[in-house]
Amino acid sequence: MLYGRSAEQGVIDRLLSDSRSGRSGTLLIRGEPGIGKTALLDYAATAAEGLRMIRGTGVESEAELPFAGLHLLLRPVLDQVGALPEHQERALRAAFGLASVEAGDRLLVGLAVLSLLSELAEDGPLLVLVDDAQWLDRASTDALLFAARRLDAEGVVLIFAAREPFTAPGVPELPVKGLDVASAAALLNTAAGTSVAINPAVRYRLLAEARGNPLALIELPAAAPSDGTALPLTSRVQDAFLSQVRVLPEATQGLLAVAAAEDTGDLDVVLRAAAGFGDFLEDLHPAERAGLVLVDAGTMTFRHPLVRAAVYQGIPPSLRLAVHKALAEALDRPDDADRRAWHLAMSATGPDEEVAAELERTAVRASDRSGYAAAATAYERAARLSARPESRARRLTLAADHWVHHGDPVPERVAIAERRGRAGPAGGGRQPARTGSGLRDRTGRRAGPGGRRDRDVAGRREPRPGQHRGAADAALLPRRDRALPRTAPGRADHRHRGPGHRAGHGARALGQPDERLPGLSRRGGG
């Protein structure tokens, strides 16, 4: 069942119905990995019930073998080549290495493909599906496109699916974008099923980071720990998004790794930190050309949050510490204190009271700006870095209080904090929901305008395992978006929930091999 693709299905339906009245049509379904291109081809195959169909796919490892893709596609119908004009038949056989003729004219192969498709459509419409066309060898692509551009009244439908930036001049494009929020939320519900409890904070982050990408929506919930903090990628998602990065020069991969760890996209900071690894601005160009990052006015952004996440997760854990350390050193302006604190925390290898104290100052600043989630996250991390049990307990208590004010499902969080810290707030038996006023008591600050709403949220919080709010909380997105501060503490918050936790869960869970980013490992990972 496809969510939110009625427009795309409509385009396919029209092509199919045209073919039933003898008209040919072509289409290139284009989009990022996991967006649902293959799913749309599957839909075409199902909708074409009763039609003759051939289906092929580009294979990454065969991208250099001339005509390998075409051979795979046409193999089931090669017994029909006898019906082609002789020189075309010979050209095709030669292309496939079936005849000992010298490789013929490539145009002739294209012509042979056109003739063969027309021949196959003699008895009724024909559907040709070519998936992952970005991995077709050049010769196959040329032949297929040659035929595609000349199809007319044969009743042939030829649909390609490919990742960006594949293009097929002369073939109409159907760009496939992320699902709309309601469809994404519906898919997330189905995908999470009843096996995984998704609390609202996790849901929010899943929907925000997936950007409507079905693969991410299906895969990420299973990987997201129920404490609502981490969002590690599964290897399937990571591979999908890393594949484009891995073909880039080593230095480019290194620079991207630094950029992925500094997700505010501050180009100046990224470059200064990357310089320590021997990577410079020029190294960014291949990534720009590949459309993986955009550079604009001193900021660089990853094309998709999942590209950044995949790159970050691909950094060998040992090197990740060095990357965060370099970033902390590059963040030397007074305004950067919060970000510096987080990078220091991320590069700490054990308890470190100095870093914990910096983080605590970050937490206080965040709290001052009503950034309760950011403050709570910073207190939690500070607790983990605390050298003394009393400091740890005190910081955990402050974290719990701030979570209450943020309106998060606190009992779960506190339980987790307790398990992590082994020194839960007030001995751990307390009902954290009642500690809301404690925030004011302890910090001497007012609860802030969110107080009432926090109580409302707290009143109906804590989804039980398997309980989801459905599409309704998709409507909450913009508001929650605002609730998560975007200022410095907000970034810290985001960072912590992203890379920071991934550092803790993702790489280990995935058992990442350490040679993912050879550029960085070579230079900096020693």
Ligand X SMILES: Nc1ncnc2c1ncn2[C@@H]1O[C@H](COP(=O)(O)OP(=O)(O)O)[C@@H](O)[C@H]1O
Q: Which residues pair with 59 in a beta bridge?
A: none
Determine if 187 is a binding residue for ligand X (CB under 6 A): yes
The pair phi, psi for residue 197, each rounded to 5°, is -85, 125
**What number of CA atoms fall less than 13 Å from residue 92's CA on the CB side?**
30
Q: Which is nearer to ligand X, 161 or 331 (CB)?
A: 161
CB–CB of 130/159 below 8 Å?
yes
Determine if 248 is a binding residue for ligand X (CB under 6 A): no
Written as six digits, the tokens of 36 are: 């649902």
CB of 55 to Mg ion, least distance (A): 12
Determine if 33 is a binding residue for ligand X (CB under 6 A): yes
Torsion of CA 177, 183, 186, 188, to 10 degrees: 20
How far from the centroid of its chain's Cα atoms is residue 28's Cα? Answer: 22
Stretch that binds ligand X, among 31-39, 92-100, 274-282, 456-464 (CB under 6 A): 31-39
| Residue from the set 15, 19, 24, 36 that interacts with ligand X by CB under 6 A | 36
Determine if 182 is a binding residue for ligand X (CB under 6 A): no
Determine if 37 is a binding residue for ligand X (CB under 6 A): yes
Q: Which is nearer to ligand X, 165 or 465 (CB)?
A: 165
Closest CA to 372 of 262, 442, 312, 448: 448
User: Three-class SS of residue 156?
Assistant: strand
Q: Which is nearer to ligand X, 29 or 92 (CB)?
A: 29
Stretch that binds ligand X, among 32-40, 145-153, 204-212, 476-484 (CB under 6 A): 32-40
CB of 26 to Mg ion, least distance (A): 18
Determine if 463 is a binding residue for ligand X (CB under 6 A): no
The pair phi, psi for residue 49, each rounded to 5°, is -45, 130
Instruction: Give the max Cα distance, the chain.
Output: 91
Determine if 30 is a binding residue for ligand X (CB under 6 A): no
| Residue from the set 3, 146, 372, 403 that interacts with ligand X by CB under 6 A | 3
CB of 129 to Mg ion, least distance (A): 11
CB of 80 to ligand X, least distance (A): 29
CB–CB of 88/57 below 8 Å?
no
Binds 5: which of ligand X, Mg ion, none (CB < 5-8 Å by kind): ligand X
CB of 63 to ligand X, least distance (A): 17
- Residue whose C-beta lies closest to ligand X: 36
Determine if 471 is a binding residue for ligand X (CB under 6 A): no
Binds 4: which of ligand X, Mg ion, none (CB < 5-8 Å by kind): ligand X
As a whole number of angstroms, the distance between CA 307 and CA 215 comes to 13
User: Three-class SS of residue 26?
Assistant: strand
User: Three-class SS of residue 413?
Assistant: helix
Task: Tell me the site size for ligand X, rule CB under 6 A.
Answer: 16
Q: Which is nearer to ligand X, 30 or 405 (CB)?
A: 30
Closest CA to 459 of 416, 409, 413: 409
Distances from the Cα of 441 to the Cαs of 157, 408, 437, in angstroms?
A: 70, 20, 6
Determine if 136 is a binding residue for ligand X (CB under 6 A): no
What are the residues binding ligand X (CB under 6 A)?
2-5, 31, 33-39, 187, 214-215, 218
